[in-house]
Amino acid sequence: MNFSKIMASLVVLSATAACNNSTTDDEAPIIERPEVTVEDGKLTPELLFALGRVTDPKLSPDGSHILYGVGYESIEQNKSNRELWVMNVDGSEPTRITRTASSEQNAVWIDGGKKIAFLYREGDAMQIFTMNADGTDRRCVSKVENGVDGFVLSPDEKKILFISQVKAFDKAGDIYSDLPKSSGRLIDDLMYKHWDEWVETIPHPFIADFDGSQLTGITDIMEGEPYEAPMKPFGGVESLAWAPDGKSVVYVSRKKTGMEYSLSTNSDLYQYDIEQKTTRNLTEGMMGYDTNPIFSKSGKQLAWLSMEHDGYESDKNRIFVMDMATGEKTDITADWDFSVDQIAWSADEQKIFFVAPFQGTVPMFCIDVASHKVDQIADGDYDFAAVVPTPDGKVVTLRHSLSEPNEIFCVNPGKEVVKLTKVNDELLSQLKPIKVEKKLVPTTDGKMMTTWVVFPPDFDATKRYPAILYCQGGPQSPVSQFWSYRWNLRLMASQGYIIIAPNRRGLPGFGTEWNAQISGDYGGQNMKDYLSAVDFMKNEPYIDTEHIGATGASYGGFSVYWLAGNHNHRFAALLAHAGIFNVDAQYLETEEMWFANWDLGGAFWDKENAVAQRSYANSPHRFIDKWDAPIMVTVGEKDYRILASQGMMAFNAARLRGVPARMLVFPDENHWILKPQNAVMWHREFFRWFDQWLKPQPEK
Could you please report the per-residue DSSP string of 146-213?
A: T--SEEEE-TTSSEEEEEEEEE-S-BHHHH-TT-TT---B---SS-SEETTEE--EEEEEEEEEE-SS
CA distances from 223 to 145, 205, 227, 425 (A): 16, 9, 10, 49
Query: Among 149, 315, 383, 639, which one carries the catalytic annotation?
Result: 639
Nearest to 383 by CA among 479, 292, 476: 479
Please report which residue ranges of 415-511 form alpha helices under DSSP H. 425-428, 489-494
Cβ-Cβ contacts under 8 Å for 177 (sequence gap 6 or more): none
How many angstroms separate the CA atoms of 146 and 646, rounded?
35
Torsion-angle region of residue 97: left (phi > 0), alpha (psi -120 to 50) or beta? alpha
- Give the contacts of 652 (CB within 8 A, at least 6 positions apart): none
8 Å CB contact between 199 and 186: no
What SS3 state is found at 410? Answer: strand
Tell me the C-alpha distance between 246 and 526, whole Å: 49
In this structure, how many other beta carbons lie within 10 angstroms of the beta carbon of residue 677?
A: 15
DSSP letter (8 states) at residue 362: B
Catalytic residue check, 194? no
The rounded distance, in Å, linking the Cα atoms of 697 and 700 is 9
Q: Which of 554, 559, 615, 619 is the catalytic position?
A: 554
**Do residues 560 and 471 touch, judged by C-beta distance below 8 A?**
yes
Say which DSSP state 17 is in. Answer: -
For strand 465-471 and strand 498-502, is the pairing parallel, antiparallel, or unpaired? parallel
Other beta carbons within 10 angstroms of residue 394's beta carbon come to 20
Separation of alpha carbons 286 and 366, rounded Å: 24
Report how far residue 690's alpha carbon sits from residue 394's, in angstroms, rounded to the nearest whole number. 45
| Catalytic member of 65, 194, 547, 671 | 671
Going by the DSSP 8-state scheme, the letter that residue 456 receives in this structure is P
Sheet arrangement for strand 435-442: 435-442, 448-455, 498-502, 465-471, 543-553, 573-577, 631-636, 661-666
Non-local (6+) Cβ contacts of 65 within 8 A are 59, 86, 87, 88, 89, 113, 133
Dmax of the chain from CA atoms? 84
> Is 639 annotated in the active site?
yes
Q: Which of 498, 632, 520, 525 is nearest to 573 (CA)?
A: 632
CA distance 383 to 508: 14
Q: What amino acid positions are annotated as catalytic residues?
A: 554, 639, 671
